[in-house]
Structure 1
Amino acid sequence: MFALDKKINICKDCFGKSSINPDTGEVDIEKFKVVLRQADKPFYLDNLQSSINQYQKEHSDVPADEVKYHGEGIIKLYMKNTNTLRQLSHKTYADSEADGFVQKNSTVLKKTGDKTNHSLKKITKQKSDDEVIILDEEEFEVTKDMIDLFGEGYTRLEYKKMVKKYKEMSETYVIQTNIHKEALVTYVRFKVKEELATARDDVAEAQKWYTAAQNAAEQGKLTAKSISKEDLQGGLVNFSDIFKMVEGTKERIKIFPEFKYQPKDAADFIIWCYINYERNLNNMPEVSYKDIYHFYDEKKKEYVEMYGDPYGIFNDDPTEENRPAIEKFITVPPEFRDGD
């Protein structure tokens, strides 16, 4: 320990032995705090609980009720986490004491009494008398790919939320280059931090991460208003891309209304009206309604063959059944035709 950080002249094994009850092997909190104070390392109850949980997971052969007797192994994990996790590596004992020995951005987790229940009770520093139920993130495995994507130093819960949000956002955000990918990853990191701060009722932290997330969203063109002229001329080549960009998912405001079929709606008739209006403006002859609905049917068939219709887009489509009535409606009586 002395050779690593010049704090105290004590070896790693002695560090652990000095922090446990020699009779039971359990971590002696008061002894552990004394050693940490001498080493000027932080003491956080939630980090200790996480180390206990981690030890139990890594040593599945040890019965759950006997894990506490493996104090030296638990302390080694505690020190490893303290020295490697970004949110802990710079902390001192005084910092942890000022925090009340519970991290602001972490939790002390305790299993509920029912072992079949995978929910957890989260006791935060700000709400020591409240219990907030969350899903058990210990069931979530953090992989090397996740660490490579988001970086090191986050909690298991943060990795879980970042992966979920990244997958959701990837469904609509087109990742064309590594720059786009990094922009999305940056936004996701900040957004998850904001959500966790909001859950803790930490308004100042939530506002800080919200601002960072919004800036990242603007720079990464994750919002509708950030679509530029260059996007419309380059990356976004058709209305479908624009709709996808604007509609987005949960993180983007829906601008376009959600259209639903009405009994008398006919998409091909609406298209026919728009086309002929444009042709009239350009002194061009009108196109026939039959040409339009043949084109409509062809494109609908291509779409269904390629993508299917899992959401029932074309269910109860009144377009085809309304055609006879529309053709009758748009037929000009002889007495009103030009020249008659």
Structure 2
Amino acid sequence: MVGRKPKEKEKLLCAACQKEKDKDSGFYNSRSKLYEKIGKVPICKSCLKKNIDYSNMDSVYTVLQQIDVKFDPLYWEQAVQRKTDTFSAYMTMANSLKQFNGTGWKDSILEQQQEKAIAAETQRDSVEQVSDEIIDKWGIGYTPDEYHQFERKYNKLIRNYGEKTALHTEGLLSYIRFRVKEELATAKGEVKEAKEWGQMASKAATDAKINVSQLSKSDISGGVDVLSQLFEAVETELGIIPLLPRLTAQPYDDADLIIWAIINYYRRLEDKEKVAYKDIYHFYDEMLEEDFKSKGLTTEEIENLKKARNNVFRDLEDVYKEPLYDTGDEE
């Protein structure tokens, strides 16, 4: 009886080297729709490996893109750990694991995407270091540095602004967010962006009624703190700043005495120590200098404006006798 003739192995022509090779052993399987008719990558294993330089991942990306196989750093690292050829091991996983089903080069996770993912994860970790109270106050999505700047400006303004209603306070928070964004954009030289943030900050300031010109009757009428609301409004008005007192040890006139008394009244309610008038004066000075700087004035211009401001009070020294409101005695 004559034996059967062995089945001849199917051949496939390599698109690169133009040589016929065994279809099963000479070519990688393929799940790509591009090669679904033959089920194989039309470039032989030898030609593909010739184009791979393991010291240069771009060469790996190029080959995988040509054969429409996604790159996944997790499985590539597993392939590197194997004793066989790295690319062959990776292709084995690409053709056997369900994680690669229905995927192609477009689904690749490249190093740049990894870096972005790591950066995003780092930012999330940093945000986690910010207290829930702060995030609840300012909202989510800001960097730790922005949260710090928000709080810094809030603590500086709230002493002068005070808390009126919940809507006023919310308006102040919006103003601070936009103003900090404006300052950060300005520092980066992003003029157009800074201008846009500045416009939003101005609108928020109007809505928050930060300026005295925005106060209505309902804002300054009724309640036991009418005088405190009136004076804090006056002191926040830009046009009043040049007339602030020059003396640093005690108040200059009755209005300043009232302001000083109100501040210390609230401090006593909060069981805090009495504040010296010089601290209030220094706060005036800080706010005035910050206002000058926000207008882009030079150091020389700021000094000249401060001198002009102080001259107003020096001119009064010959005709005005300062009353001694505070003897310095502690109760």
TM-score range, shorter chain: 0.3 to 0.5
Q: TM-score when scaled to structure 1?
A: 0.41
Q: TM-score when scaled to structure 2?
A: 0.42
Which has the larger helix fraction?
2
